[in-house]
Amino acid sequence: MEIHEVLEKVKRREISIEEAERFFRKETYEDLGYAKLDTHRKVRTGYAEVIFCSGKADEHLLHIFGKLYEEDGEVFGTRASKEQAKMLQKHFPMAEYDPISRIIQIEKPEKQRVGKIAVCSAGTADIPVAEEAAQTAEYFGNQVERIYDVGVSGIHRLLSKVDVIQSANCVIAVAGMEGALASVIGGLVERPVVAVPTSIGYGASMNGISALLTMINSCANGISVVNIDNGYGAGYIASQINRLAGGQGNHEL
Average pLDDT, the chain: 89
| 251 domain-assigned | no
pLDDT tens for residues 44-66?
788 888 999 999 999 999 999 99
Question: What CATH number is attached to the domain comprising 153?
Answer: 3.40.50.1970
Q: What integer is the mean pLDDT of 104-111?
A: 90
**At residue 139, does pLDDT exceed 70?**
yes
Least Cα distance to 67 among 11, 97, 29 occurs for 29
Tell me, what's the pLDDT at 26? 63
pLDDT tens for residues 170-210?
999 999 999 999 999 999 999 999 999 999 999 999 999 99
Q: What integer is the mean pLDDT of 66-95?
A: 94
- Are 170 and 240 contained in the same domain? yes
Q: Using 50, 70 and 90 to split pLDDT, how confident is the model at 11?
A: confident
- Are 175 and 212 contained in the same domain? yes
- Are 92 and 193 contained in the same domain? no
The residue segments making up the domain with residue 9 are: 3-106
Q: What integer is the mean pLDDT of 234-241?
A: 96
Q: What integer is the mean pLDDT of 97-101?
A: 97
Q: What integer is the mean pLDDT of 20-31?
A: 66
| 18 domain-assigned | yes
| 192 domain-assigned | yes
Tell me, what's the pLDDT at 163? 94
Tell me, what's the pLDDT at 54? 95
Q: Using 50, 70 and 90 to split pLDDT, how confident is the model at 93?
A: very high
- Are 161 and 193 contained in the same domain? yes
Tell me, what's the pLDDT at 106? 95
Of 106, 130, 155, the last residue of a domain is: 106
- Are 51 and 32 contained in the same domain? yes
CA distance 32 to 66: 12
pLDDT tens for residues 156-166?
999 999 999 99
| 15 domain-assigned | yes
| Number of domains making up the chain | 2
**At residue 147, does pLDDT exceed 90?**
yes
| 253 domain-assigned | no
**At residue 248, does pLDDT exceed 60?**
no
- Are 39 and 151 contained in the same domain? no
Strand order in the sheet with 114-121: 142-147, 114-121, 170-175, 193-197, 223-225
Q: What integer is the mean pLDDT of 131-156?
A: 95
Tell me, what's the pLDDT at 2? 65
CA distance 198 to 209: 8
